[in-house]
Structure 1
Amino acid sequence: MSPPTSNISDTIKQDHREIESYYKVIISTRDADEQTRFQNMFTWELARHSVGEELVLYPAIEKYVRDGIEATNKDRQEHQVVREP
């Protein structure tokens, strides 16, 4: 049996679903310890995901996709909004 195949788009979608699931726990739990644990996981995964996009995905989009620079600039602006306190 060969290993499952995946592409970058599938990985990104999976990351988004995982981060979203952490957020849902954060806003729905009444357990302070659980909320803190999921806030920490949410923060770590969001940071890891964003850095990965910026270091790997965006340069490829800029190089190979028509109007890629404009698209990545938009995403970078969205990431910056999330970073701001």
Structure 2
Amino acid sequence: MDNKLNEIRRKIRMLRTEMLSAEDNIRKQVNRDEDCSVAATHLMAMRATMVGLIGERNRLGGEERLLNVDERLKLEVRAASRKPSTGMPGGRER
């Protein structure tokens, strides 16, 4: 079951990358005032596939908890507040 779950997660990652690329292409077409209906239809099909993969992943017990706004902001503040170390390796200062 873990192999099946990992395979689904891999498909989701690949599909997300492909969707980002398709969205970028649609933006470029819109900016050039070109027809993007084919690309948009393809993106909608990818979204439907994504919903199916996520449902299958969740049925197999691989559901991932999404953070709420407060939790995301706390993570971003912690990441921004980390300061790079200025000392030498081993903790010795000059």
TM-score normalised by L of structure 1: 0.57
State the number of aligned residues: 59
Q: Which runs of 5+ in 1 are unaligned?
A: 1-5, 63-67, 75-85
- Structure number with the bigger relative contact order (C-alpha 8 A, sep ≥ 6) is 2
Counterpart of 1:61 in 2: which secondary structure?
coil
For the pair shown, the structure with the greater C-alpha radius of gyration is 2
Separation in 2, partners of 1:9, 1:48:
13
The aligned amino acid for 1:15 is L
Separation in 1, partners of 2:53, 2:9:
13
How do 1:1-85 residues align onto structure 2 when only pairs under 5 Å count?
7-29=7-29, 30=32, 31-32=34-35, 35-54=36-55, 56-61=56-61, 68=63, 71=65, 74=66
Q: Which runs of 5+ in 2 are unaligned?
A: 1-5, 67-94
Which structure dedicates a bigger proportion of its chain to helix? 1
Runs of 4+ in 1 over 6 A off after TM superposition: none
Q: CA deviation at 1:61?
A: 2.0
Q: CA deviation at 1:43?
A: 0.5
Map Cα deviations across residues 31-74 of structure 1 (whole Å, 9 max, x no partner): 21xx11110000011111112211x1011126xxxxx5x72xx5
The aligned amino acid for 1:45 is M
Separation in 1, partners of 2:8, 2:53:
11
